[in-house]
Amino acid sequence: MTPYVTSLRAIVGREALRFIHQRERFIAALVRPLVWLLVFAAGFQAALGLSIIPPYQTYIAYETYIVPGLCGMIMLFNGMQSSLSLVYDREMGSMKLLLTAPLPRWWLLFCKLAGATAISILQVYAFLAIAALYGINMPPLGYITVLPALAVAGLMLGALGLLLSSFIKQLENFAGVMNFVIFPMFFLSSALYPLWKMAESSKLLHDICALNPFTHAVELIRFALYVQFNAAALGWTLLAAAVFVAAALWGYNPSRTGMSRRG
Amino acid sequence: MTGLSVKDITYRYGAKTALDGVSFDIPQGAFCALLGPNGAGKSTLFSLLTRLFVAPVGQIDIAGHNLARDPRAALAKLGIVFQQPTLDLDLSVRQNLSYFAALHGLSGREARTRIDSSLERLDMLPRAHEKARSLNGGHRRRAEIARALIHTPSVLLLDEPTVGLDAAARAAITGHVHRLAQDGTTILWATHLTDEVWPGDQLVVLHHAKVLTQGIASQIAGDMPLRDRFLAMTAAPA
């Protein structure tokens, strides 16, 4: 086995072990979208009329509409959580252990990203299973075709977390960033309402939503769940992922003096 | 042969100079103490030696590999014990060491054999299955030193490894690491405690970002205890 594969397995394995040890985190990650699905969606069902828009071929209940958005929410929270753990690792020193391994830094960071994404995907499947028990079913094939979409969305949001972690110097600054990243990203997207609804109330908000990479990640997941391919959504999500990864690698570059402010 | 060579390293945080033209060489298999008061630049030097950040000026060679030109070969020859504890407390000692071994590309039977032998060297083998959280401070440190030896590095860096330990644990760890030097590993041991330096050790005294003096500890101390000599040197305006 090459050192690359060995290190990938170890880093992903460690992320998984850490996740298993934090059972509260797993439960919290599941309860959050379930509250939205079972409470919020039930209340909004009556208020929000949805017309037939792709990929749906018939009128759908609001609960069905928000499932892909809630999958995205799980991944968004997870991306930020893994970024939080990176900042924690840096304060605690275990990040140093990782970054001094004799492998290229981009690979080590990619392994971290892959670990976080794998955990996100497991959580999304747990959520989809509960939603199915509740009666919100996708086409059976959709549960398979959504996998690559989740991987791309998870990598993009994980890369955003990585980027944030390279610029956040202290754990205490994190809560503010979460509020400025998670909430705007989630609410200014197509997760809770279709974009045409948004356009009815404000053109500007609609345009912001259309620019938000999270919107495209959600649409990618939504189409994939119905065994359809949304090339534009994939393109924008990949582009956003590439930009975030490039910026994060720059942020973690050892010759950038900003890295060194904390010994 | 030179185990670790540092040439003309200068590093600034904005306007503040953390290291100013620092140079020293440690022969292969020597124990070198890097002695300096808090804030002298020891931790910055360690971050540069481990390539956590890169010095724009100067040159670092680890076991003959240039850190800037060939970072991976250089890092592969380097064992590091950081000042902060870096064990994952929820994992066992063995799991912690296996994770590190994998970062160095070691897995399977080879990793197990190496982990056993390096735990053995630090008398930690009986505790391999204990959770890191259940170990006392001295044993945690020893586990970290054992971890840093898995890939048989030629150079071992330790950044104030005895911080927070009691006198007995400090003496034990200092003794263990001196024995590693006798076995041929080059050691750089940063500290501000003179009692950890043995008379025959190499010594580099760092103060206000510069090397104040370097040589054999007993010769630098001269006719007074090293502690008094060190206080006299660092009290004087640099």
Asked if residues B165 and B138 have their Cβ atoms less than 8 Å apart, the reply is yes
The Cβ of residue B106 has, within 10 Å, a number of other Cβ atoms equal to 23
The reported pLDDT for the residue numbered A1 is 66
Give pLDDT tens digits for B118-134.
999 888 999 999 999 99
Share in percent of chain A as helix, strand, coil (round to 5)? 80, 0, 20
Query: How many Å apart are CA B138 and CA B164, to the nearest integer?
Result: 9
Closest in A92, A103, A254 to B52, CB measured: A254
Q: Which two tokens stand for residue B217?
A: 């500890």
User: What's the whole-number mean pLDDT along residues B49-62?
Assistant: 91
First to last CA, chain B: 32
Residues of chain A with pLDDT > 70, as a percent, come to 92
| ipTM, two decimals | 0.84
Superfamily of domain B2-77+153-235: P-loop containing nucleotide triphosphate hydrolases (3.40.50.300)
Question: Do A93 and B102 make contact, defined as CB atoms within 8 angstroms?
Answer: no
Cα separation, B46 vs B24, in Å, equals 14
165-224 in chain B: CB under 8 A from chain A: none
Could you state, in order of their start, the residue ranges of all structural domains in chain B? Answer: 2-77+153-235, 88-152
Beta bridge partners of A131: none
> How many angstroms separate the CA atoms of B202 and A124, rounded?
57
Domain ranges of chain A: 3-255
Question: CB count, 10 Å around CB of A183?
Answer: 10
Query: Minimal Cα distance from B52: which residue of A?
Result: A254
Ramachandran area for residue A177 (φ above 0: left; ψ -120 to 50: alpha; else beta): alpha
Q: Which tokens is A215 given?
A: 């919107």
Give the Cα separation of A10 and B101 in Å (integer). 9
Written as one letter, the residue type at A110 is F
pLDDT 10s digits, A181-234: 888 999 999 998 888 888 888 899 999 999 999 999 999 999 999 999 999 999
Q: Is the pLDDT of residue A258 over 60?
A: no
Mutate to test the interface with B, among A9, A23, A256, A260 (most CBs of B within 10 A): A260
A255·B56 Cβ contact <8 A: yes
Asked if B197 and B35 count as a contact pair (C-beta separation under 8 A), the reply is yes
